[in-house]
Structure 1
Amino acid sequence: MLRINELIEAAQAYLPAEDVDLIHRAYLLAAAVHEGQQRASGEPYITHPIEVARILAGFHMDGACLAAAVLHDVVEDTPATFDQIQRQFGEEVAMLVDGVTKLGQVHFETHEEAQAENFRKMLLAMSQDLRVIIIKLADRLHNMRTLDYLSENKRRRVGRETLEIFAPIASRLGLNRIKNELEDLSFKHLYPVRYRVLSEQVRKERGNRAHITDRIEAAIARDLEEAGLDADVIGREKHLYSIYRKMRSKGLSFEEVQDIYAFRILVEDVPTCYQVMGRVHNLFKPIPGRFKDYIAIPKANGYQSLHTVVVNPFGGVMEFQIRSREMHEVAEAGVAAHWKYKEKGVTSPDRRKLEQSYAWLQQLLQIQQEAGDSAEFLEHVKVDLFPDEVYVFTHKGEILRLPRGATPVDFAYAVHTEIGHQCVGARINGRITSLRTPLRNGDRVEILTDPDHQPNSSWLHFVVTGKARSAIRHFLQTQQREKSVALGRGMLERTMEGVGVPFAEVPDSALREAAEHFHLQSREALFEAIGRGTVLAPAVVQHLFPGYLDRDLRVAGALGGEEAEAVDRGNGNVLVRGMEGIVANLARCCYPIPRDEIVGFISVGRGVMVHRKDCPNLHELAHHPEKWVDVDWAPETKGAFPVAIQAVVQNTKGVLAGMASAIAEDGANIDNVLVEDRDGVYKTIALTLEVEGRDHLAQIMRIMRGLGAVERIVRKKG
């Protein structure tokens, strides 16, 4: 009961009595249904949802959010139902529990496709109510705090997904307090030795520098007091993962990282922030280029503060962050700060942050709709989750925030998708520049457009924003789709002409039914699939007119002379993809045998003919793509297969008998022999053998090369 009492006390400090009662009733239900369940640590399971709610109470989240946090596992792990939650606690709490429950059913994997699909689910949940993801982040934070009780493999897996997905989302939503702790805990479980070594170094350095930081803090506080400025001066230590990340990115040793300690100065309002900045620069020498004004130009997640790096009296460097107290609350709590002010019944000072977060989510939703697949979507999202920003101006003087390395094309798409599509050039600071030019802070950018211009696929090599990349790909895919639809329709028409059925006589209903058969949504999707080669035109014709290939085979059987001899049944050794049950025939022009690379071709009167990929006759067939089909050898082949070889041998007595003996001893038959004299010294022997496949043929040719009279032996292509 101790922990629930602490939660209730924390809630009573800022919530009305009816909300506190809601949280207590949620606890009573959760404690009853979780009765007997334990965590990996051996503690009662109910301790986990209570701790999650306590984390959220630290951000002054509203009563519905805390009640949902207490109940967040009951639907998934106990007999309690969504309807029960809805009846007892109302629609709002039930909706939050349902959102968190659905996220709880997501299990991240290292496979990119699964990771992307899971991120889609998180995105959709966030877009409905940001409190869903805030609860999920608190849930993940408490799980990370108690991760020691799990196996090493699971600790590493959970640590990696936390570092790659949850911490960046917390950062993007401005929840820096959660983000920092998630990163440090992930670092601990992913790289335990590095974590221990770095922790020990920081601990030692803390003792060494304590007197220095105390003296600097006292000097600043005294100076601000003398100037009549009300300010709180707080010395702080950078969190471990940020130190480790800086060491890795810049190739530094721990001793070379000078700004491990920083100072934060909190004041009452914005004008005082700039006054304090002036006092700091009077006390300590600022380092040029290391001043950043995030008050005038906030970060993408709404963060505001003045940052400056100065040289301290002892020769080292240190960072100062100067912000108002309201900015500090927002910097630590991010979007969660909105609910704190909502509970007080006043307008949130950071309503803009909430609006920015929803705007970011809407942009990601647009990218999701345009992305071709999950991996592509994740690629765009990661660009937005890990921004290193530049700030540029439109020709009207408006500020645009873009990732570092962004180009005029990224800028154009940030203004509007159509501006991006029609972009033909750019002026940067009044000068015409290349579309590849990286933008720098303070650049004034004007985009030159042409209504008849279209995106170029080469742009994908240099754009960096997810919005630009997804919009370009979406345009190109749409354009390619139109071409594929036209190509596929033409291929189907020509294939139908081959069986004597005019395309115009095939009803739309039959084409729609054929599309459903191939798991496609419409006849246009069917044409596109044919054009892209994922569905074969002959397979569609076979579905529309069953037996038409069998009819061709019957015709072939009625032919005489050379036509009949040109067909050799595959006897199930060759599979025709998308046309199951169709018998393929081996072409005698190139004699394909098992393990050869092969292709199929619809031949009028002969059915599906199988050729080697290097068959010379394929050049004549290249102008009829609608007749090509995908074929492959069956996993197990049986029988003997004809193959043609040619040997140049010395014109000596008994050479043919020696070759025939070697072939017979290796289990092959000679089907045909043709001997041709060349110059009296050598002669050419062409043989048609029956072999089991490429391995068998290679073995026979090795044996024959060992015969003294054989100068050269090759397999004939056709």
Structure 2
Amino acid sequence: MEAQIDLEKERLEILSAFKGLLKATKNRTRQDTAYIRKAFDVAVEAHKDMRRKSGEPYIYHPIAVARICVEEMGLGATSIACALLHDTVEDTHITLQDVEDLFGEKARRIIDGLTKIPDVFDQNTSIQAENFRKMILTISDDLRVVLIKLADRLHNMRTLESMSHDKQIKIASETKFLYAPLAHRLGLYSIKTELEDLAMKYTEAAIYQDIQLKLKSTEDVRNRFIRRFVNPIREALNKEGYHFDMKARTKSISSIWRKMQSKDLPFEEVFDLFAVRIILDTPIELEKADCWRVYSIVTDFYQPSPDRLRDWISTPRANGYESLHTTVMSPQGKWVEVQIRTKRMDEIAEKGLAAHYRYKENQKDDNKFDRWISEIRDLLENPDVNAMDFVEEFKMNLFHEEIYVFTPKGDLRVLPVGATILDFAYDIHSDIGNKCIGAKVNNRLVPLSYQLQNGDQLEIITSSKQKPSEDWLRLAGTARARQKIKSALNDERREIAADGKEILERKFKQLHIQFKSENITVLERFYGFSSATDLYIRIAKGKLDLSKLRELENVNGLLQLEKKTTVHKDKHELDVYPKINKKDDTIIIGEDFKNIQYQMARCCNPIPGDPIFGFITISEGIKIHRINCPNAEHLQSKMAYRCIKSRWRSQDLVARVAAIRLIGIDDVGIVNKITEVISKELNVNMKSISFEANDGLFEGRIHVLVYDTEHLDTLMRKFEQVEGVKRVERYDTTED
């Protein structure tokens, strides 16, 4: 009876969650409400016996995803219905045909895009990459697939606590690698930031908590500073009669950590921990003029940094982002970033392209987005690209800063920072790219490798004799250019291979050998090629001795290898894969693991106490990496099928190498003091030490042998107490 009461209570809570969703859906018609209600009823019925890992009814997840679509993306009724139904086809008896019959063809297409590909395990591909590719295939048909998928991923990340630790790491790495950059490219900045922060919470737990605590402890001081900073600006804007809103937002933990890494700073020295945002309520025709007037008012009070001005109002970013950013000096000697924008711009900045479609007046941005879609189509059109290559190329197209360059007629083109002449040529047209031999930039002749600068004006020089070469792939930075080059090279390879095939046919005829696929396979093995195309190309180039064909036995026109040759698979496929059950196996460091060799990865030198995982390499057994290793995100997100759980055996006392960096003020005897700490510390042996002094500062790098992270922390605390040492940190040996 009690279970019945609980079920009734749950039913009421689910209904209450659905009512909350409807309440959040603004401007809905009667038909919209009926459509969403029908989707809710179908989803509740389909998922009625399912529960999430946390124990709560599964239906809470689709409702939460639909709510993100409404509140954080501003999507409409079709998207809400599809968000409610997004897992039904994959996890329940509902079929795509049922979806079409009940909700229409558009809903079917969206749900199909959201349904994962069958999880058929192939150890040479990444299921995540295939799923991602399938989702992106729909981007040019219906952007809503990607937006709902991002909402789904965001809710999964918000509820990741109930997952096992290795699942948390895998999902967080995948999120950081693919979904956060995708949210950024679609202009969903707040979602991108939250995804990055949530990913960091699991992949860099200690650093995340440390920055979180420091932000909390400095919150009151920060708030007092902000109040003093904004008061004069607020008074001046009120006096001028502006309608505005003013917000101060603290930078996200992940962006603070990025700044600490890129600038090599401790938390205390990161100056722009927050930004002040001024949001104007002004008509669209006055937006630009009013934003610049507000900029003028801000800089009347505070001195701006001339090289930190960003004008994304005159030239919006490719994802539609518009804003005016400046960094000014406060009376307390601190730099403060100020962002100036209108309500319309702010909604686009928060809700990305979903909001952007509601402001169709501004056509030029739609064109920019359409160009991005066309680049994705170019990527998808190439049948030779496998899923991993696709993800790599697609990622290159996602997370880049932009530069603005001009054609000879003054047309503006937006390209990523680091783009070259070739990128610009292919951006105009494939034929121009294929025949490009150089360019005039601002009337000066430059080579293909020249990197474009903001404001450059380019004229491409072509030649009918020119054709792409392998070197061009090194010179091109955009996915579009690289794709076109690969396509041209493949066309050329096919032409050469056709010539080689013809030569081989003639040779076969001469030796009375049948031209059959079985004979070609024998030749591939005999000459050691992985494909017939490679074999034909070598024949066409005259680099294969066809007289050796006589060494093969010819039985009625069919070739026989004298000895049965086997194509050697990668060592890990032969020895390691069959022995491992990825779901249940855990490597315990210090114990034998199924007679499979494992070793510590050199890139991050794990020591006992570090959270770790194993990675099955091609020829060196299993490598053990730290979870926050520089390569972990790449391995966990792209090749999770080769990752295996690992942990330390608690009594495993083996000294291992750890790398420590010290930064401080150069002084006589500082090296002596530091080496003295090591010699006095029990059981610590030094492997190597190097010091560099420059302008009164020194940087020391020490490799020591320690037993575990506790042992290492004790040593680092002792270094911090040495007079003159300002910073002590562990670093990855990949930096050396």
TM score, norm. by length of structure 2:
0.68
Q: Quick check: 1:489–1:527 contact (8 Å CA) kept in 2?
A: no
SS in 1 for 2:246: strand
Counterpart of 1:337 in structure 2 is 355
Deviation (angstroms), 1:258: 0.6
From 553, 569, 575, the equivalent of 2:565 is 575
From 345, 368, 373, the equivalent of 1:327 is 345
Q: Once the two structures are superposed, what CA deviation does each residue of 1:21-51 show, in whole Å capped at 9, x if it has no partner?
A: 2111211121122112111111111111111
In 2, Cα distance between the equivalents of 1:167 and 1:540?
A: 55
Q: Does 1:141 align with 2:131?
A: no
In 2, Cα distance between the equivalents of 1:278 and 1:355?
A: 31
Q: Quick check: 1:7–1:50 contact (8 Å CA) kept in 2?
A: yes
From 257, 275, 293, the equivalent of 1:275 is 293
Q: Quick check: 2:184–2:399 contact (8 Å CA) kept in 1?
A: no
Q: Quick check: 2:316–2:365 contact (8 Å CA) kept in 1?
A: no
In 1, Cα distance between the equivalents of 2:532 and 2:57?
A: 59
Change (3 A) 1:422 1:224: same
Return the letter of the residue paired with 2:103: F
In 2, Cα distance between the equivalents of 1:549 and 1:97?
A: 51
Note the 1:259-408 alignment, pairs <5 A.
259-267=272-280, 268=282, 269-338=287-356, 341=358, 348-349=360-361, 353-370=365-382, 372-374=384-386, 375-408=388-421
Deviation (angstroms), 1:490: 0.7
In 2, Cα distance between the equivalents of 1:412 and 1:433?
A: 13
Counterpart of 1:219 in structure 2 is 232
Return the letter of the residue paired with 1:214: R
Counterpart of 1:4 in structure 2 is 18
In 1, Cα distance between the equivalents of 2:259 and 2:50?
A: 42
Counterpart of 1:428 in structure 2 is 441
Return the letter of the residue paired with 1:435: L
Counterpart of 2:457 in structure 1 is 444
Change (3 A) 1:447 1:24: same
Q: Quick check: 1:123–1:361 contact (8 Å CA) kept in 2?
A: no
Q: Quick check: 2:500–2:538 contact (8 Å CA) kept in 1?
A: no
User: Which moves more between the two structures, 321-330 or 26-35?
Assistant: 26-35
Change (3 A) 1:75 1:431: same
SS in 2 for 1:575: coil
Change (3 A) 1:45 1:526: closer
Q: Quick check: 1:335–1:354 contact (8 Å CA) kept in 2?
A: no
Higher relative contact order (Cα pairs below 8 Å, separated by 6+ residues): 2
In 1, Cα distance between the equivalents of 2:234 and 2:122?
A: 50
Q: Quick check: 2:272–2:335 contact (8 Å CA) kept in 1?
A: yes
Deviation (angstroms), 1:372: 4.3
Q: Does 1:70 align with 2:58?
A: no
Deviation (angstroms), 1:130: 0.6
Q: Quick check: 1:4–1:50 contact (8 Å CA) kept in 2?
A: yes
Deviation (angstroms), 1:295: 1.0
Q: Quick check: 1:56–1:135 contact (8 Å CA) kept in 2?
A: yes
In 1, Cα distance between the equivalents of 2:252 and 2:482?
A: 34
From 185, 191, 203, the equivalent of 1:190 is 203
Q: Once the two structures are superposed, what CA deviation does each residue of 1:143-199 show, in whole Å capped at 9, x if it has no partner?
A: 110000001110010001111111111111111221111111111111111110011
Return the letter of the residue paired with 2:410: G
TM score, norm. by length of structure 1:
0.69
Return the letter of the residue paired with 1:61: L
From 530, 536, 552, the equivalent of 1:531 is 536
From 433, 438, 456, the equivalent of 2:469 is 456
Return the letter of the residue paired with 1:307: H
In 1, Cα distance between the equivalents of 2:103 and 2:384?
A: 41
In 2, Cα distance between the equivalents of 1:197 and 1:576?
A: 55
Change (3 A) 1:86 1:312: same
Return the letter of the residue paired with 2:197: D
RMSD: 3.3
Note the 1:154-193 alignment, pairs <5 A.
154-193=167-206
In 2, Cα distance between the equivalents of 1:279 and 1:60?
A: 33
Deviation (angstroms), 1:115: 5.0
Change (3 A) 1:107 1:296: farther
Counterpart of 1:599 in structure 2 is none
In 1, Cα distance between the equivalents of 2:555 and 2:123?
A: 45
Q: Quick check: 2:405–2:412 contact (8 Å CA) kept in 1?
A: yes
In 2, Cα distance between the equivalents of 1:460 and 1:168?
A: 23
In 1, Cα distance between the equivalents of 2:209 and 2:216?
A: 11
Deviation (angstroms), 1:354: 4.8
Q: How much identity, in percent, do the aligned residues show?
A: 36
User: Which moves more between the two structures, 121-130 or 40-49?
Assistant: 121-130
Q: Does 1:51 align with 2:60?
A: no
In 2, Cα distance between the equivalents of 1:286 and 1:112?
A: 51
Q: Quick check: 2:427–2:481 contact (8 Å CA) kept in 1?
A: yes
Deviation (angstroms), 1:539: 13
User: Which moves more between the two structures, 510-519 or 392-401?
Assistant: 510-519
In 1, Cα distance between the equivalents of 2:76 and 2:275?
A: 33
Deviation (angstroms), 1:543: 13
Change (3 A) 1:241 1:264: same
In 1, Cα distance between the equivalents of 2:329 and 2:87?
A: 51
Q: Quick check: 2:135–2:145 contact (8 Å CA) kept in 1?
A: no
Q: Does 1:473 align with 2:482?
A: no
Q: Once the two structures are superposed, what CA deviation does each residue of 1:96-142 show, in whole Å capped at 9, x if it has no partner?
A: 22221246x57999977655433321210222211111111111111
In 1, Cα distance between the equivalents of 2:23 and 2:402?
A: 42
Counterpart of 1:563 in structure 2 is none
Q: Quick check: 1:109–1:115 contact (8 Å CA) kept in 2?
A: no
In 1, Cα distance between the equivalents of 2:289 and 2:120?
A: 48
Q: Quick check: 1:220–1:233 contact (8 Å CA) kept in 2?
A: no
Q: Quick check: 1:335–1:353 contact (8 Å CA) kept in 2?
A: no
Change (3 A) 1:350 1:43: farther
Unaligned regions of 5+ residues in structure 2, if any? 1-14, 525-529, 569-736
In 1, Cα distance between the equivalents of 2:438 and 2:401?
A: 25
Note the 1:674-713 alignment, pairs <5 A.
none
SS in 2 for 1:166: helix
Counterpart of 2:504 in structure 1 is 491
In 1, Cα distance between the equivalents of 2:125 and 2:405?
A: 33
SS in 2 for 1:40: coil
Q: Once the two structures are superposed, what CA deviation does each residue of 1:226-272 show, in whole Å capped at 9, x if it has no partner?
A: 22222221111111111111212221211121111101111122211
In 2, Cα distance between the equivalents of 1:108 and 1:173?
A: 31
SS in 1 for 2:51: coil
Counterpart of 2:594 in structure 1 is none
In 1, Cα distance between the equivalents of 2:30 and 2:523?
A: 60
Return the letter of the residue paired with 2:252: H
Return the letter of the residue paired with 1:92: K
Deviation (angstroms), 1:496: 2.9
User: Which moves more between the two structures, 370-379 or 145-154?
Assistant: 370-379
Return the letter of the residue paired with 2:241: G
Q: Quick check: 2:430–2:484 contact (8 Å CA) kept in 1?
A: yes
Counterpart of 1:235 in structure 2 is 248
SS in 1 for 2:277: strand
SS in 2 for 1:386: coil
In 1, Cα distance between the equivalents of 2:376 and 2:547?
A: 41
Q: Quick check: 1:495–1:538 contact (8 Å CA) kept in 2?
A: no
Q: Quick check: 2:496–2:537 contact (8 Å CA) kept in 1?
A: no
Change (3 A) 1:95 1:379: closer
Counterpart of 1:29 in structure 2 is 42
